Every structure is written in structure tokens, then in C-alpha cells.
Amino acid sequence: MNNLKTKIVLGALVSLTALSFPADAHRAWLKPSATVLSGDAPFITVDAAISNTLFHADHHAMSLNGVEVTAPNGTSLELLNSSSGKYRSVFDLELTQQGTYRIASASAGLRAFWRDEEGNRKMWPGRGQQANESEFATAVPQNADELRVMRSSRRIESFATVGAPTYEVLEPTGHGLELAFHTHPNDLYATETATFQFFIDGEPAAGVEVEVVRGGMRYRNSQEEITLVSNAEGMVEVTWPEAGMYFMEASYQDDQAAAPATIRSGGYAGTFEVLPL
């Protein structure tokens, strides 16, 4: 098998999203106040932040632009009482339907990196800007030194369920690096094993390296991370050591990008609540 096609680059998100994979890096997350609820129309509050420590907001508030909440029937849910401070954004959700809700932020775009004639690093588009692909030919020198052109995607998500779990909102979109749920994300229990499947643009993603970390890192000396690698069908199994809120992060890179890119890169981050038996 082609090594480049299946190579996983744990540091790819540094260049693409200003977020990175290592233990001491900044992580972006969406954290609901609860994920398993009952009643006619319960409310939850969702925190959104970029932090060094899970789930302690200590670096930067996450932008709520692009955050979408999908109700069990497929409609979009309004973000209520949303606001952003220095370290954390927050919003409320009224869950009026029975079933499972997806809370997600997904983005994709073209990026290029190179060195100019003086050896300085260059990037297009600039940090925080969105690429206009029609400008690529004039903005990026085609014969530049160390030129890398990437099609990158990123998905950050979490889930909440009122009453019985449903599966409609869990279907992959076919875009970017995604997780399919053979075990429902709101049916997770300590000491049990959950089965998930990674897809890249709708196809099983083999060899994805995954890191799972329980929250509360601020109060223990070791990160206690769980590291996994997806098999040929993109499958991974996670055995939850104890109850708590967990963060899963993965990144993937291959050479199957659509032109003018030569590299395809995907990042995934999910927050999951694991309940005691």
C-alpha cells in the first residue's frame, strides 16, 4: 500500500487550523452540560473553547460562527443566549424534540505553504482567512520552494439525547474526516467497549491514529490517554476506564486531494459523556 496515501500526520492540524494533536497543545471542543436527558423540553448549556487543559477554558474562546445544531427530525436548532468572553463561548439549547441532537462545527478549504526567494515561510490564505479558490493561480507561485497545497477539513462535535436515542443525525455527510457510530454516542458506559468507524470523504479511513483523553486533566499528574489505530475498515474500539467527559481527537492525511491540491488532510474532535454503570 502507498505509504503517503495512508500516512497519518499528527501535527497536520498545526498548519491547517492552529490546533495540534500533542498532549500539551491547544484543543477546540464543544462541551454540553448534559448529554442524556428526559422531560418535555429540557435545556442544556454548551461551552465552546480552545484550551490547553480539558475541559478547562484557559486559552481562547471558540467562535460560534459555523456552529450548527441539528434536531432529531433534521431541522436546525437556534442557539439561545449565545455570548463569547475571552476564554469561552457559551449558548443554550432548548431540546423540544425527543431523540438525538448533533452539535457541530465543520469547515473545509484550500491552503498553500511555501518559502519565498529569501527563504521566508509563506501561507495562503492568511491566518484566519477563508480561501477563494479562484485566486489560487495568482496568489500562489507554482514553482515556489517547498510548495505544499492542501485540501483540509475539520469537524468538532458532540451529541445530546432526550429520551430514547435516535440515529438519523448520526449519518456521515461524506465530507472530510468523520466518525460513524456503531455504538450510539449517548449510550456509553464505564468499563464497556464502544465501536466507531472513521470515514474520509465517505470512504473508510484506514490507519487513523486516535487519542482519547478524559476531562479533569487539571486535577491529575498523568494525561492517561488512550491511543488507537483504525483498521482497514476504519474501525476503532474504545473501552472506557471510568465515567466522565471524554475528548477524542484524530487527524489524517493522504495524496488523494482534488486539484490543485496534492495533499488531503482531515481533522476530527468529539466530546462524549461516559456514564457509570
Give the separation between CA 88 and CA 179, rounded to whole angstroms. 25
Give the separation between CA 56 and CA 177, rounded to whole angstroms. 26
Domain ranges for the chain, please list them.
3-109+150-274
Give the separation between CA 35 and CA 155, rounded to whole angstroms. 19
Q: Are strands 99-115 and 121-124 parallel, antiparallel or unpaired?
A: antiparallel
pLDDT score for 6: 35
Provide the residue type at 52 as one letter: N
For residue 125, say if its preceding peptide bond is cis, omega within 30 degrees of 0.
yes
Among left, alpha and beta (phi > 0; psi -120 to 50; other), residue 201 is left
Using alpha carbons, select from 55, 64, 6, 67 the residue that is nearest to residue 26.
55
The DSSP element (H or E) to which 148 belongs, if any, is strand 145-162
User: What is the chain's pLDDT, residue by residue, as a tens digit (277 residues)?
Assistant: 444 333 333 333 333 333 333 444 689 999 999 999 999 999 999 999 999 999 999 999 999 999 999 999 999 999 999 999 999 999 999 999 999 999 999 999 999 999 998 899 999 998 878 888 889 989 999 888 999 999 999 999 999 999 999 999 999 999 999 999 999 999 999 999 999 999 999 999 999 999 999 999 999 999 999 999 999 999 999 999 999 999 999 999 999 998 899 999 999 999 999 999 9
pLDDT score for 17: 37
- The CATH class that applies to domain 3-109+150-274 reads mainly beta
Using alpha carbons, select from 139, 131, 208, 215 the residue that is nearest to residue 177.
208
CA-CA distances (angstroms) from residue 191 to 194, 223, 225, 242, 244? 10, 18, 15, 6, 12
pLDDT score for 25: 66
Cell digits of residue 143: 514553482
